[in-house]
Structure 1
Amino acid sequence: MLSVGRLLPRATGNRAFYVRCEWNVFLLDDANTLVDSEFSLGVLDESPCVIVESSGGANPARGVTRRNPDYNKLLGLLLQRLANADARLTAVLLDSNRVADISISDRTAKLDHPYPIDLSVEDIDEIRRMMGRAVAMMHRAPHAKTGGNAQKRIRLCLDRTVSPPQLLTARAGTELSNEITDDHAPGHTETEQAYIRKARIGQGQFRSLLLESYNTTCPILGISNPELLVASHIKPWSACTNQERLDPKNGILLSSLFDKLFDRGLITFNNDGTMIISPSLSSEDRAKCNLHQVPQLSLSNASEPYMEYHRVCVYKHT
């Protein structure tokens, strides 16, 4: 994804780490212009989804500009690119913190169209407007007199996994990838851009926190030579918000071989830490990689959502 934002340090004990501050993940419109609204990829009950962040929050008196002003444009582009990827919409969920404890059924948007919705045969703009009308009416204050906010944080649940390149732009390919990179960050200082580049490849503060968390040891092989250890993201960089990209709970410290297996989706882990081996890996290669004697990985609760994404969207099931 393309990212624009600003990193601010926050002290914690005797060290500082970087936190998210008004940081967005963008895509490009059909004219290759950045769309100023944030989204990310995720999973819910082992089903892939796209999360669209809410719009609003402007306060001219305090000089605060509106958050995610291109919400409708972003949503329309995402729906069109999901249609191009042959993805069907299985549900639209309200997904703000205020409704986090409400049942899925009570925060599912009731559209004038039955789920699942085959986006490839629908009028995308009409589907977007229909979603806005339904979302605006959901969980309003009892005596609200306005039409409601149609640009809330929502989760688009899908019947198939989509990859970031399928959503990024209408013309994703070699030409585009040569023009821009995942750490594209207009408006940043050179220092900030260097930090982003280091985080993307598992270096800098992200790596330091993982080395500390894992006691500079691969939890699978026990290798402790730092030169042989890779600080890898569990949920891939291109599918994350920037907050997730900098979260050490979205990291795992592995030896080079196991990092490659994990990155390619040839292995993954259950929440109890047991390894799952892809059926696409031959029995001969499994034996050579010594995958039959792998210890159970210890995962924190905060890492489980990231690993769920890896199991559903990265792991090669066939």
Structure 2
Amino acid sequence: MNSLQRALIEKSGTDNGFEHTFADEVGSVTLASARHPTCATVTVVGSGFDISVMSGMASLLPELIRSFSAEQQAGGDFRVTNEAALAALLRRTASLSIALPSQAATGYSKAVAEALSTLPDGLAGTEIERLVRLRVGQQKFRDALLEYWGSSCAVTGVALPEVLRASHAKPWAECLSDAERLDVFNGFLLTANLDALFDRFLISFDDQGGLLVSSRIPVADLQQLGIHSGMRLRWLAAEHKKYLCFHRSIYESCGEVGEV
């Protein structure tokens, strides 16, 4: 690896979620970040790059394999052919490392403490504190879903932030812990119309990601809402399914159900 190649790798890391060079060996560069616990070691191979991802999150590698199956090599490493592909893999790795379970929860307590510190004394345990925790938690959850879904609707792919909502599968009030409330797999990034229906249990998803629609919604309204046959989640991880099961149990109890 020459100095130009090393500089290109370090710049790609800085631009795509890895702002530190954690270790420096003769033939590789290891990238790291203060924002997440994942490291990526990049080695030059011909005109391309090998990337070895090191993380304590069990769900990271399966997610990367789903997104970059063609680039996966034996042992869980990835091989890309150019700088643009390297940037894409590093960017997705960083986004997932920020979004995946425990990351949102890790920063939640600190963010709540900072928000509460600005309030007058004597508000501990009051409705105001509850609202602060709810507001901070919902923002953390939304941020995590934006990272995980690439700032695009989980069904339609619409990428306009103003119309995207963070939808819980297992509602906030039903969750047993902050870890559940902030789990990126406990919800989907949806456009406002899909979010409203999902939140009211008028739609749900099966274990293959297919859209389920309550028969309580008139066909004419479905057409007006842009809901049509074949709509489905862009992908579905195994970790989503326990939360979807909870959501469907309420959806099914609300009346007649069916498929689009």
- TM-score normalised to structure 1 length: 0.40
> Which structure has greater helix proportion?
2
Report which structure shows greater RCO (CA 8 Å, sep ≥6).
1
- TM-score normalised to structure 2 length: 0.48
